Amino acid sequence: MNKIYKVIKKNYFVIAASILIFLFFSLTFMSTNGIHFLGIHTTTESVTYDEMAHIASSYEYDHDMRMVLNPEHPILIKTLVGIPLNLMNINPTKYTYKTLISSNNDYQWDYANDLVFKNNPTRSSEIIFTARLSVLLINTSLLILACFLAFELFNKKVSLIMLALLVFNPNVLAHASLVTFDIPSLLTTLIALLCFYGLLKNNNAKWALLSGIAAGVASVTKYSSVVLVFFFAVFYLVYSLIKFRNHDFMHKIKLLLLYSFSVILVIVALYLPFTYGISASDEHYQIYNIWYGHLTLFSKPLLDFLLSFSAVTKALAVWIDGLFITNLEVALNRPGVLLLGQSYDTGYLLQYFPIVFLTKNSIGELLLFISGIWLFVRVMFKKRDNEFLDEVFALIYALIYFSLALYSKLKLGIRHLLPLEGTLSLFVAIIFNNNWSKKIFRVKVSTVFYVLIILSIISTITAYPHYLSYYNETVGGTYNAYNVAEDSNYDWGQDYITLKNWQSANPDKNLYFDIFGAVGVREAYFGTDPSRFVVWYKNNLPSGSYIAVDSANLTYDQSRQHFSYKQLFKKAPIRLTPSIFIFEK
């Protein structure tokens, strides 16, 4: 027994980190794939709305070796997911490269419907499972790398605290295996911030190169990460002029140039193989005929020049074009934003993301974030003028990212704040580590951490398997918070297989549907009879029938039509899942 204790004590970091990473993988995998846990029964999650387009583009990129579909999202994760999909020998779609590149239509949703459902009806579940498993393996690998870097640059404690904050976060687990880019963005952002810390501390070419590579990888994972690229350059220049004022100024410039070159090299190296086979005229046609609205007087001549100059600049042009599209999406006003049960005709709601952040995170996690900021403020007043606080770079980036999110008109929920949560996890890990034996509110910092992380663990376990719909207790918890904020915050179409199973188990029920979904999704799960798809609030159903309504349609319609389902249906609805209501007429 004594020998076992010594082995555990000697290797506690490897053991603890392995357990946390295993929990990250297993909780995500089980909740997505319908594996029962601690007596909690669950069902495989159906394909979510955005996953359809991303699965389609993942397959198309590697199948054609030409990037055509879904240019508004970067290429990295899609090209990795596309590898196993193309090894499956599934039936391709009717949409050839020639069709896609020569049309004014954006066929990504139709392509997805053909690929996932129409042309491979018996393998749809296999396609979705393979794509999701690929993303989960990518995310797990990135988490291991982030853990290793935090250990190398800081210590074991920082690495483990950061890991615990990520693993016991329902929002992280909700998205970690979905074919989207939010968790990869969180993790590549985290890795880039850690590499940047290495540059700040060492001020050498090695870390300038690694920072550039990491920032480049983050930039080809999700376009919002481009903020990192400029943040690193500005922060390093200001910091080095203050911290290393006696050093050679040209040394700083050389490191900045090396960093910048590395970023561009990563972008070009990844995009070049998937744009080389597209002629400049084809690329020009697609940009100007499908996505013309995002171009300005500045961007048009820039893209024209880059497209026509060389294959290398053409690759860079496609990445920049996606950046312009994203900028358009962020600035575009979208009516019908739901917040606290009310629908707004403007996306300019400064209160949206603060409310989502405060209600979608567990109370334990929120208190850890707040405690970390309080500790930082207290330490700031006690520090010496020339003392650099290890955690300041992470906090400043978190504040910049959150500020930019506030002014975005694109209100799609907590998934757009996930890189912020990763950054705050690193910040809290550093500040708690540096003040571990001190006291906050007359309680040791270490005790505060253990108590709050236990609260987070409890919230994570009790939320299983409905991580996507998770809300904390301040708004009534998961089952009672469906009208706080819609979209992927609560209902992304993830519970349709559960509804399909209920329909199969109740063949005597005359069931209708009012559910949203990408092209072909409703029909794939519930049949092609158009008479079965109705609008719930029109109340034109036969007596004794049932209608399944997802919370996205229910809450949106209630806020727009100004009445409640209770006015139409006398019986309380069956809550099949947090996001599915079944009413009886």
Both 573 and 535 in one domain: the answer is yes
Say which residues have a Cβ less than 8 Å from residue 42's Cβ, sequence separation at least 6.
Answer: 30, 31, 34, 35, 36, 464, 465
In a domain, 484, yes or no: no
Q: Are 449 and 368 in contact (CB under 8 A)?
A: yes
Range of the domain at 25: 2-33
Question: Do β-strands 580-584 and 574-577 pair in parallel, antiparallel, or remain unpaired?
Answer: antiparallel
Both 464 and 382 in one domain: the answer is yes
Both 503 and 556 in one domain: the answer is yes
Both 507 and 401 in one domain: the answer is no
Both 356 and 431 in one domain: the answer is yes
Token pair 């070796």 is at which residue? 65
CB atoms within 10 A of CB 219: 27
In a domain, 283, yes or no: no
238 φψ region: left (φ > 0), alpha (ψ -120 to 50), beta (else) = alpha
CB atoms within 10 A of CB 298: 9
For residue 582, list its beta bridge partners: 548, 574
Q: DSSP code of 533?
A: B
Q: Which residues of 56-69 are buried (b: 16+ CB within 10 A; e: fewer)?
A: bbbbbbbbbebbbb
Closest CA relative to residue 193, chosen from 433, 403, 424, 449 = 424
Q: In Å, what is the CA distance from 396 to each residue of 204, 232, 260, 427?
A: 22, 11, 21, 10
Q: Of the candidates 444, 475, 506, which is a domain's last residue? A: 475
Q: Are 220 and 71 in contact (CB under 8 A)?
A: no
Both 356 and 423 in one domain: the answer is yes
Q: What is the pTM of this model?
A: 0.93
The tokens describing 359, both together, are 């209600």
What secondary structure does DSSP assign to 77-129, as a single string?
HHHHHHHHHHHT-----S--HHHHHS-SS--HHHHHHIIIIIS-TTTHHHHHH
In a domain, 165, yes or no: no
The tokens describing 272, both together, are 């070049």
What secondary structure does DSSP assign to 441-478, as a single string?
TTEEHHHHHHHHHHHHHHHHHHHTT--TT---GGGT-G
Both 552 and 462 in one domain: the answer is no
Q: Give the number of domains in the chain.
A: 3
- Rounded CA-CA distance 191/217 in Å is 10
Residue 170 preceded by cis peptide, ω within 30: no
Q: Of the candidates 431, 446, 475, which is a domain's last residue? A: 475
In a domain, 395, yes or no: yes
In a domain, 334, yes or no: no
Both 440 and 499 in one domain: the answer is no
Residue 383, helix vs strand vs coil: coil
In a domain, 464, yes or no: yes
H or E element: which one contains 499?
A: helix 496-505
For residue 444, list its beta bridge partners: 439
Both 457 and 527 in one domain: the answer is no
Q: DSSP code of 515?
A: -
In a domain, 189, yes or no: no
Both 470 and 521 in one domain: the answer is no
Burial class (CB in 10 A: 0-12, 13-18, 19+), 104: exposed
In a domain, 127, yes or no: no
Both 358 and 465 in one domain: the answer is yes
Q: In Å, what is the CA distance from 15 to each residue of 2, 7, 20, 152, 312?
A: 17, 10, 9, 17, 45
Q: Of the candidates 417, 444, 475, which is a domain's last residue? A: 475
pLDDT tens, the chain, 585 aa long: 677 777 677 788 888 999 999 999 999 999 999 888 877 788 899 999 999 999 999 999 999 999 998 888 999 999 999 999 999 999 989 998 888 888 878 889 999 999 999 999 999 999 999 999 999 999 999 999 999 999 999 999 999 999 999 999 999 999 999 999 999 999 999 999 999 999 998 889 999 999 999 999 999 999 999 999 999 999 988 888 777 666 677 888 899 999 999 999 999 999 999 999 888 888 888 888 776 667 776 788 888 888 888 999 999 999 998 888 888 777 776 777 888 888 888 777 889 999 999 999 999 999 999 999 999 988 887 766 555 667 889 999 999 999 988 888 888 889 999 999 999 999 999 999 999 998 887 889 999 999 999 999 999 999 999 999 999 999 999 999 988 988 888 999 999 999 999 999 999 999 999 998 888 899 999 999 998 998 888 877 888 899 999 998 888 888 777 777 777 787 888 999 999 999 988
Both 393 and 503 in one domain: the answer is no
